[in-house]
Amino acid sequence: MALYTDTVMDHFMHPRNVGEIKDPSGVGEVGNAKCGDIMKMYLDIENNVIKDVKFETFGCGSAIASSSMATEMIKGKTVEEALAITNKDVVDALGGLPAHKLHCSVLAEEAIKSAVKDYYDRSGIPYDHSQFPD
């Protein structure tokens, strides 16, 4: 069996929504200390809906594929819907990841949460801090 699904390869070779949003509603930056990979996610939010999302990932192919898929999954969704997305949802959408690459998808989930948290902070929206990592 191939290590990576066609969907993973497609998102790795042709990642969607790569780049940066100038003047974003929220930005999240997360990293994995073990592998050193870094993921940055920018959100443009209007009326609680994610109008646009872009990412920059300095990391492995699985991290790029996971961020690409995650951006597609949250575009057009409400902030709450985006927060509900787990790394397992991202992995499922990718058709699976090898076990030792699952943490790459965790980075994608954390990047979304971190960007939403930044959006809440910037807009003065109160939130439950226990909802977010660190």
Cβ nearer to ligand FES, comparing 15 with 59:
59
Cβ nearer to ligand FES, comparing 38 with 49:
38
Distances from the Cα of 5 to the Cαs of 58, 62, 66, 100, in angstroms?
Answer: 21, 11, 12, 15
Binding site for ligand FES (CB under 6 A): 32, 35, 37, 59-60, 62-63, 101, 103-104, 107
Separation between Cα atoms, residue 100 and residue 13, nearest integer Å: 20
Cβ nearer to ligand FES, comparing 16 with 103:
103
CB of 105 to ligand FES, least distance (A): 9
| Catalytic-labelled residue, pool 35, 49, 93, 102 | 35
| Catalytic-labelled residue, pool 63, 69, 82, 104 | 104
Active site residue 60: no
Separation between Cα atoms, residue 91 and residue 42, nearest integer Å: 21
Contact between residue 53 and residue 74 where contact means Cβ atoms under 8 Å apart: yes
Would you please indicate which residues are annotated as catalytic (active-site) residues? 35, 104
